[in-house]
Amino acid sequence: MNTAWNHYLPTELRNSKAEPWGINSRAVLALRASRQAVVFVHGFLGGAISTWVQFPSSLPTQAECTGVDSFFWGYDWKRGSVDSCASQLTEFLDALIESPATNVLNPSKPRTAPARIATFRYKRIVICAHSLGGIIVRKALLWAAEATPRKWAAVQLSPILFAPAHKGSHSLPLMEELFQAFELKALWRGATFLRPVLKELEPESANLRTLEKRTRALLQQKPELRSYLCPRVIHGGRDRVVVRQEFARDGQFEVVPEAGHRSICKPTEAFSLPLERVIEELQ
């Protein structure tokens, strides 16, 4: 227990069968929980914790986050498609929203921590995603919004996308160029496991076009879902990885001139903006 944080130290994120939720996923649980949580979803080449650097240690120290639970969810970007990863995220969010105590919190809590009561439910969940994670989150939220009656209607969901790749990425040519520059052509030819997801990230890929088309159509039919399907989008001004264009009916996105693709989601002592944006959504 870290009394300065009012949170327990990070624990492995597990389900009711004591199985891991995703790859290297972690939970940072509050001693005295409010009914708010933050879910973090990393991007391509990222990790459940490594992508977010100081978030696991800095978020619990904020006065506004005393009772907020944090979940750092990991997935297999090497072998999974966007749809398969979105399906896994949907399964986790189902558990977190519909039966958090039995299917997420109590299996993940430290041994010395008291159990959460079975009726515990969240009122608000902020979902933070980076790069490829932005597409995965959009897909999961779209599926939920298309369901009748709408899934997760009892909870307020506030998505924040840092450098999302929802309009595509230049990753495939950049990675090929990088491998060639270091004379690793043979290794690049052998890295076939990277190509399926990179193909899905190409600008104007069929998957991205369909995602945007379905999102736009649903928003036209049900504009009340805007807060659900039109997340806060934040790009780095120095980002050369993703295409920075408006998606569906999101409206204007924020550009942070000094940030790059990787740094845009990493709070530091000198760069507090990612942390500030999360806290804003919790208030």
Average pLDDT rounded to a whole number, residues 33-59: 93
What is the per-residue pLDDT for 202?
85
Tell me the pLDDT of the chain averaged across its residues: 90
What is the per-residue pLDDT for 44?
85
| Angle between the N-to-C axes of helices 132-146 and 82-98, in degrees from 0 to 180, rounded to the nearest 10 | 60
Cβ proximity of 42 and 48 under 8 Å:
yes
Does residue 6 belong to any structural domain of this protein? no
Domain limits for position 197: 11-282
Does residue 28 belong to any structural domain of this protein? yes
Cβ-in-10-Å burial (0-12, 13-18, 19+) of 53 comes to middle
Does residue 243 belong to any structural domain of this protein? yes
Does residue 5 belong to any structural domain of this protein? no
Span 59-106, pLDDT tens digits: 999 999 999 999 999 998 877 789 999 999 999 999 999 999 999 999
Q: Give 72's DSSP letter.
A: E
Confidence of residue 200 (pLDDT cuts 50, 70, 90): confident
What is the per-residue pLDDT for 1?
47
Dihedral angle computed from the Cα positions of residues 205, 209, 215 and 217, in that order, rounded to the nearest 10 degrees: -170
CATH of the domain at 84: 3.40.50.1820
Does residue 3 belong to any structural domain of this protein? no
Does residue 136 belong to any structural domain of this protein? yes
What is the per-residue pLDDT for 176?
53
- Length in residues, the chain: 283
- Domain count of the chain? 1
Does residue 168 belong to any structural domain of this protein? yes
Q: Quote the distance between the C-alpha of residue 245 and its chain's center.
A: 19
Span 206-265, pLDDT tens digits: 999 999 999 999 999 999 999 899 999 999 999 988 999 999 999 999 999 999 999 999
Average pLDDT rounded to a whole number, residues 268-281: 96
Kind plus residue range of the DSSP H or E element containing 141: helix 132-146
- Give pTM, 2 decimals: 0.92
Does residue 1 belong to any structural domain of this protein? no
